[in-house]
Amino acid sequence: MKPMPVALVTGATSGFGLETAKLLAQKGYCVYAAYRSAKKRQALRQLEKTLPIHSIYLDVTDTASINRAVALIRKKEKRVDVLVNNAGFVVAGFLEDLSDQDLRDQFDTNTAGVLRMVRAVAPMMRARGNGRIINIGSISGRVVFPALGAYAASKFALRSLTEGLRQELRPFGIEVCEIAPGTFATQVVSSTRFGKNVLSPRSPYKNFKAQVEKKVEESFRRAAPAEKVAQLILILLGQSRLKPVYTAGTDAQILGFLKKRLPDAWFERLFTRIFSWSRFPDAGGK
């Protein structure tokens, strides 16, 4: 019998990661679903009872834990056919209110963590002469929203990292692409970390924070289910070639289209219609 293809999914305890692990397992993949928090592992434990899913501890900020996890997969399966780099989180706050450590933490997971995973998995793929790496980026890697500047910067960096990896790994039969989702119903809001000084009453942005939070809440009330991104990943794995980038979600597609075609000054003016205090600072966020 032909062996089951092996997929490794990071950040698999919720959202895109959990839905991707579940769908790939249902469609004939042997899935290693990575978790960092033992408290969040329960959802994977339930799936393990009926699907070929194996939960595995892996922290993308810890090279030793990555190497242990990948070594275990290599020992059991001798291969990794698909790597989905989904692990990530949001540091929220206006940039001036963020500390150096806030920025380091954001990039350590969202950007450097992807490269650590590629270093660990690419040798196995190269030895077989094929493999696919899908990086979960964001529309924030193209459009910067106020109070999400650090997150956006990490996703802009991931966009560049994906482009570089795509060129460098292609000669070895390894394809790399990015999915740039817009707003989906995941746990990104509940898992958001606020920067060190964001909640300080002395912050010059305190009056604007409520405006941004209101718009975020409105956006997520209309969010599409996370399963949509998992379904896109499954479709991509069935294609003969991967394009560099796939946008996911109506909002991402519209913003991506406008960002490409409008001059920067025009696009910025459009944003000031959405966030009024950016146009009228003295309005105090009203």
Q: Locate the domains of the chain by residue range.
A: 6-261
Tokens 């032909």 belong to residue: 2
pLDDT in tens, the chain (286 residues): 678 999 999 999 999 999 999 999 999 999 999 999 888 898 899 999 999 999 999 999 999 999 999 999 999 999 999 999 999 999 988 899 999 999 999 999 999 999 999 999 999 999 999 999 999 999 999 988 888 899 999 999 999 999 999 999 999 999 999 999 987 866 666 667 777 777 788 888 877 777 777 766 666 666 678 899 999 999 999 999 999 999 998 888 888 888 888 898 888 888 777 666 555 554 444 4
3 state DSSP class of 217: helix
> Which residues are marked as active site?
151
User: Domain 6-261 maps to which CATH number in 3.40.50.720, 3.40.50.1370, 3.40.50.10860, 2.20.70.10?
Assistant: 3.40.50.720
> What contacts 180, CB < 8 A, 6 or more positions away?
137, 138, 139, 141, 142, 159, 245, 246, 247, 248, 252, 256
| Parallel/antiparallel/unpaired status of strands 245-248 and 53-57 | unpaired
How buried is 243 (Cβ within 10 angstroms: 0-12 exposed, 13-18 middle, 19+ buried)? Answer: exposed
How buried is 278 (Cβ within 10 angstroms: 0-12 exposed, 13-18 middle, 19+ buried)? Answer: middle
Is 0.85 topped by the overall pTM? yes
110 phi/psi in degrees, rounded to 5? -70, -25
DSSP characters for 82-129?
Answer: EEEE-----EES-GGG--HHHHHHHHIIIIIHHHHHHHHHHHHHHHHT
The length of the chain is 286
3 state DSSP class of 133: strand
Apex 140 CA angle, 139 and 144, nearest 5: 130
CA distances from 101 to 146, 150, 151 (A): 20, 11, 14
Residue 249 is encoded by which pair of tokens? Answer: 């979600």
Beta bridge partners of 53: 31
